[in-house]
Structure formats: structure tokens, C-alpha cells
């Protein structure tokens, strides 16, 4: 059973619809016990880093997510769900992230020719790892974000993208996967990424 974490932070319904389209069994839940007992977990997220952390903590989901990630079972973070896995974000100074992975979330510098947030399709490159089996470099995915990841451990970075700066667009560390882009909004390529995750989880 796949648990999609529901914590009033955005894009859970679109993720749920994508999983339904693939045909995998899932639940949408904010119950820490259901998350701890799931076979795989997906953490979506849209919005402010600090607000999202507050919502996780207020529901007791922060510990459940940390325990699940440490269990060796497959975990996928999406968009802010990627950012929350790391130590801190410039969006919410002084607010600790989950600290499951090491790195910082930084704000795009912006400028006359660079609108922030980045909204729309962007290609990714240097793709590797389980999520990108059957996906070529320079495939386009859908992004909506003002902040980007700079991972401390470069070995966990599984793809990059460029938007004014080159940034880490996905990570893979053992059983923990995360994407800055929205696979659930990225047409066939996004469904392929989700299918690859669910195959790794033994759910399809």
C-alpha cells in the first residue's frame, strides 16, 4: 500500500490522480500510524517551507516521515516535499527541515531576464538512477518554485536543471527519492518517473 501524505499543503489530489492512472493501490492519509505501516510513501508539497514544516509537526508527521525514511522502504518527495527533506531553507530562516538529507534550499537570484518563481516546463540533464530508467537527458518536466536545492553530498544528485543557475532537480539516496519538478503534472515523462518509483516499491 502506498501512503500519500495529506497535510493541507497543496498538490495531493493531482498526485493521487496520477497514481490512480498508473493503477497502484494507495491511501491519502494524515495518520502517522498509517504512514509508518505503509509499503511506500509519497510526500507532496506546495507552499512555504516553514508553513509546511509547521503542518507536519502539528500532525505528528515529522517523526513518522523520519522513521519511515530510515526504515529502508521506498520514499518519494515532490517539490516542497523534496525541500523539506533537507536541513534548512532561505525561505524560512531559523526553521529546521527534516534533516533526512544534507543540503540547503536557496532562492533563485532573479533579475531582469529571470522571473521568480520559475513556472513552466524545463529540461533536466545528467539523469541517472532508478527514477529515470527509460528517460533521456533533456526531457522536459513541469516546475513551479522560487527556491532550489544545493545538496551537500553531490553523489545523491540524480538530475540537474538550469534556471539562471544550475540546480539539483532530483536526488536518490538509497530508498529516498525526491524531485523538485512535479511528475504528476509532467505528462507521459512524469508518469514514467512515478511508474519507475512504484516498480521499485513493488507496487506495479
Q: Which residues are catalytic?
A: 79, 182, 184
Closest CA to 78 of 52, 104, 115: 52
Q: Which three cell numbers stand for residue 58?
A: 502539528
Asked if 118 and 135 count as a contact pair (C-beta separation under 8 A), the reply is no
CA distances from 127 to 14, 158, 162 (A): 24, 6, 13
Distance CA 66, CA 79 (A): 18
Q: Which three cell numbers stand for residue 11?
A: 498538490
Q: Which three cell numbers stand for residue 83?
A: 525541500
Amino acid at each position: 500500500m502506498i501512503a500519500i501524505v495529506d497535510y493541507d499543503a497543496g498538490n495531493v489530489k493531482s498526485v493521487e490522480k496520477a497514481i490512480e492512472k498508473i493503477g497502484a493501490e494507495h491511501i491519502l492519509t494524515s495518520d502517522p500510524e498509517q504512514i509508518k505501516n505503509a509499503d511506500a510513501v509519497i510526500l507532496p508539497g506546495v507552499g512555504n517551507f516553514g508553513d509546511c514544516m509547521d503542518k507536519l509537526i502539528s500532525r505528528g508527521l515529522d517523526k513518522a516521515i523520519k522513521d519511515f525514511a530510515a526504515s529502508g522502504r521506498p520514499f518519494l518527495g515532490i517539490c516542497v516535499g523534496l525541500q523539506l527533506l533537507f536541513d534548512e531553507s532561505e525561505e524560512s530562516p531559523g526553521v529546521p527541515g527534516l534533516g533526512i538529507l544534507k543540503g540547503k534550499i536557496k532562492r533563485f537570484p532573479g533579475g531582469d531576464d529571470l522571473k521568480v518563481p520559475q513556472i513552466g516546463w524545463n529540461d533536466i540533464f545528467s539523469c541517472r538512477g532508478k527514477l529515470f530508467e527509460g528517460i533521456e537527458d533533456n526531457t522536459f518536466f513541469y516546475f513551479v518554485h522560487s527556491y532550489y536545492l544545493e545538496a551537500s553530498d553531490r553523489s545523491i544528485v540524480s538530475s540537474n536543471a538550469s534556471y539562471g543557475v544550475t540546480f539539483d532537480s532530483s536526488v536518490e539516496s538509497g530508498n529516498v527519492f525526491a524531485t523538485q519538478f512535479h511528475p504528476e503534472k509532467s505528462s507521459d515523462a512524469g508518469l514514467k518517473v512515478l511508474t519507475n518509483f512504484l516498480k521499485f516499491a513493488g507496487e506495479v
